Amino acid sequence: MKNKLTELLATKPSQLLNIFFTAGYPQIEDTNRILSALATAGVDLVEIGIPFSDPLADGPTIQESSKKALENGMSIERLLSQLEKQDLDLPVLLMGYLNPILQYGMKNFCKRCQEVGVDGLIIPDLPLQIYLNEFSGVFEEHSLSNIFLVTPQTSEQRIREIDRHSTGFIYAVSSASTTGSKNQFATATDYLKKLKDMQLETPILTGFNIKTQSDFKTACEYVDGAIIGSEFIRQISHGEPLEDKVKGYVQSIR
Amino acid sequence: MSKYQVDSNGFYGEFGGAFIPELLYPNIEELRDNYLEIEKSAEFQQEFKALLKDYVGRPTPLFLARRLSEKYGAQIYLKREDLCHTGAHKVNNTIGQIILAEKLGKKRIIAETGAGQHGVATATVCALKGLDCIVYMGEKDIERQAPNVARMKMLGAEVRPATSGSKTLKDATNEAMRDWINNPEDTHYIIGSVVGPHPYPDMVARYQSVISEEIKNQLEGLPDYVIACVGGGSNAMGAFYHFLDDEEVQLIGVEAAGWGVETDKTAATLSLGTPGVLHASRSIMMQDADGQVIEPHSISAGLDYPGIGPAHAWLKVSQRATYMAVTDQSALEAATEVSRLEGIIPALETAHAFSVLKDLNLKPTDKVVINLSGRGDKDMDTYMKELNLR
């Protein structure tokens, strides 16, 4: 599969910084401002959250940003048309729960994602088996990487199965928690070491509870990069200019 | 195997499945791999039956309601689940799941609750077994079901308010699932209805199926109708279960129309909903064009839910069961009627089921079984307010 994400990963990069934010938050038109600011600040890839009314796997920060984004009028159609207006030079992933995507229509969604320059999808409540049975064809047709999650509770056998079916990177959730919990990232190192020692085919990025430069550096000692979501959203929730907030936070991590 | 039962992949026709985040995969896998074997074991069956008999007070009576029968020109029987310990059918399921949790070595129990009946039933079995119990309940429901909140606390449970969304059952379910994600190893989640990822809909239906098993034993011949209210659908599934393959028995589920199915204050999922994925199963749900969940309304907290169990979605689509919707107002009228004609104050949820009697064109020879799923004590605040009883 060839897209901006697989091209980036093919260069065997290290210390990848992936920033997550919710589309249409804090204001509806902030999606593109944040994207541009992240590109300027030098992140390696971005993950944009499609807000959902019932985000099961998310903690309070992303719940709140999703709620606000929905109140702002964000929807899949709106997000895709925002992305259409921007040159996406960075690899861009969309993260969204299954139901809004099903209502939009998975086929049409994948087609539109490719048209606007999206490289991959993270759908946390789309199980591996359903993906393989129903959707892997349409993902491939539109050159979309599917990013699966693994957790400290995922068995080695299942990690290997996920490795075989991954077409981008594996998203290693750092602890048994929803996003943005108070768990300390530093306790995840045994688990990350285990993943590293498994010598998987697919690159690994880790996420959940990564807040500081020290967390980021620790993560990069074991895996290929890290994803920061809730903490980034907290940082940009208040105050202007947004661009300075984005730049300031990314610099504090790098 | 019956075409109305779950298949080996956890689906009822096109509905069901386990649309879970990977974070919940080990928990669900553990349940899926063990629930049938544990349920079939002699040890489980012995304890389950003994507790249902001596602790819950089963079998519950099947009562011929003479004055209601007279009024509606049929033979109307009431399955008295309101006489179960804790006041509703919910305890059948929590007894089953607490034994299962114990066999799986779990130390901590979580649950969601709407009207509080499932929360009370869970707190009860946790006290019985000496396990920690945390119940998630929407902030709005905590307000309108105060007596049940106090009962849970008295039983030693911690009641945690769900403050997101509509602050009702849907949000309490979200919070319970998040808790489970955060505590994947020592915790069992006792879901209170036939909703959620496979194997929950099947597991809960099996534990509740004692209702229809008893009806079959208690009634001479088959009923013409079995009627039950439906929120998530556990009491209805329990009452339908052993009649699913008796196609001559008409199965009727009654949803909450709230202010009316034509208004935006309603919880009539099967009347208004479309297929989608909510709380980790594919079913019918109330949603907008963007796939966002619509916040429901019903006067009864137990029916105030924008989804429905996948088995009910399948029974509707395959036309095995009929689903009707009843307004808040009609439910209140039915509650008054049952109280005055039979000396039984039903739960607000249950009152919805009685409200369809007038619409059924009953014949004197018709045998009608209504699942009287719960008693009305918990609803006295609402009844006092709505019926001017102060």
In terms of residue numbers, what domain contains A237?
Answer: 4-253
Residue ending a domain, among B203, B226, B255, is B203
* Segment B284-293 mean pLDDT: 96
ipTM for the whole complex: 0.93
Number of domains forming the structure of chain B: 2
Q: Is residue B324, in this structure, part of any structural domain at all?
A: yes
Residue range B200-219: average pLDDT?
A: 98
Q: Looking at the structure, tell me whether residues B160 and B253 fall in a common domain.
A: no
CB contacts of A102 in chain B (<8 Å) are: 276-277, 291
* Rounded mean pLDDT, B91-109: 98
Structure tokens given for A119: 């490289």
B112 in any annotated domain: yes
Residue B268 above 90 pLDDT?
Answer: yes
Both B144 and B69 in one domain: the answer is no
User: How far apart are the C-alpha atoms of A111 and A144, rounded to whole Å?
Assistant: 9
The answer, yes or no, to whether residue B164 has pLDDT greater than 90, is: no
d(CA B341, CA B290) in angstroms, rounded, equals: 47
Give me the mean pLDDT over the A124-131 stretch: 95
Give the residue-averaged pLDDT of B211-223. 98
CB-based contact B21 A53, cutoff 8 Å: no
User: Which residues in A lie closer than 8 A to residue B166 (C-beta atoms)?
Assistant: none
For the cut 70, the answer to whether the pLDDT of residue B1 exceeds it is no
CA distance A48 to B288: 22
Range of the domain at B362: 58-87+208-386
Let me know whether B290 and B348 are in one domain. Answer: yes
Same domain (yes/no): B172, B262: no
- Residue found under tokens 């707190």: B123
Provide mean pLDDT across the span B163-188.
92
Question: Chain A: residue nearest B289 by CA?
Answer: A103
Average pLDDT over residues A24-50: 97
- Cβ neighbours for B70, distance < 8 A, ≥ 6 positions apart: none
Asked which of B143, B172, B203 is the last residue of a domain, the reply is B203
Closest alpha carbon to B21 in A56, A52, A31, A45: A56
Same domain assignment for residues B269 and B148 = no
* Mean pLDDT of the residues in chain A: 95
The whole-chain average pLDDT of chain B stands at: 96
Q: pLDDT tens-digit profile of A133-148?
A: 999 999 999 999 999 9
Give every CB contact of residue A218 below 8 A, 6+ residues apart in sequence.
Answer: A185, A186, A189
Q: Which residues of B touch A (CB under 8 A)?
A: 17-23, 25-26, 164-165, 170, 174, 177-178, 181-185, 276-280, 285, 287, 289-293
Domain annotation covers residue B6: no
Of B19, B182, B289, the CB nearest to A127: B19
Domain-embedded: residue B5 = no
For residue A179, pLDDT beyond 90: no
pLDDT tens digit sequence for A105-126: 999 999 999 999 999 999 999 9
pLDDT digits (tens, 9 = 90+) for B37-85: 999 999 999 999 999 999 999 999 999 999 999 999 999 999 999 999 9
* Of B168, B203, B238, the domain-final residue: B203
Hey, how many other C-beta atoms are within 10 angstroms of the C-beta on A2?
Answer: 9
Phi, psi of B187 (to 5 degrees): -110, 140
Q: Are residues B27 and B165 in the same domain?
A: yes
Active site residue A64: no
The single residue listed with the structure tokens 């556990």 is B234
Closest CA to B169 of B140, B197, B196: B140
Orientation angle between helical segments B90-103 and B42-51, nearest 10 degrees = 140
Question: Shortest CA distance to B158 belongs to which of B193, B196, B189, B126?
Answer: B126
Whether residues A151 and B22 touch (CB distance < 8 A) is answered with yes
Across B129-148, average pLDDT: 93
Could you give the percent of chain B with pLDDT greater than 70? 100
Q: What per-residue confidence (pLDDT) applies to A177?
A: 84
| Partner-chain contact B26 A155, CB within 8 Å | yes
- Among the options B90, B167, B170, B316, which is catalytic? B90
Give the pLDDT confidence of A204-252 residue by residue, as tens digits: 999 999 999 999 999 999 999 999 999 999 999 987 799 999 999 999 9
Residues B82 and B221 placed together within one structural domain of the fold = yes
Statement to judge: residues B103 and B231 lie in one domain: no
CATH assignment at residue B103: 3.40.50.1100
CA-to-CA distance for A82 and A30, rounded, in angstroms? 10
Tokens of A7: 């091209």
> How confident is the model over B383-390, as a mean pLDDT?
93
Query: Is residue B266 a part of any domain in this protein?
Result: yes
Question: How many independent structural domains does chain A possess?
Answer: 1
The alpha-carbon gap from B174 to the nearest alpha carbon of chain A, in Å, equals: 6
- Reply yes or no on whether the pLDDT at B145 is more than 80: yes
Specify the CATH number for the domain of residue A24. 3.20.20.70
Nearest residue to B134 (alpha-carbon basis) of B80, B92, B83, B186: B186
Q: Which of B17, B20, B277 sits opposite A99 (nearest CB)?
A: B277
Residue B1 lies in a domain: no
Residue B3 forms part of a structural domain: no
Distance CA A112, CA A28 (A): 20
pLDDT at residue B167 greater than cutoff 90: no
Where do we find the tokens 């009946």?
B117
Whether residue B356 is predicted with pLDDT greater than 80 in this model: the reply is: yes
Which residue of chain B is at minimal alpha-carbon distance from A63?
B164
Q: Do A158 and B25 touch (CB under 8 A)?
A: yes
* Assigned domain for B95 exists: yes
Task: Give yes or no: B166 in active site.
Answer: no
**B243 and B339 housed in the same domain:** yes
> pLDDT exceeding 90 applies to what percent of chain A?
91
Check B291 against A101: CB less than 8 A apart: yes
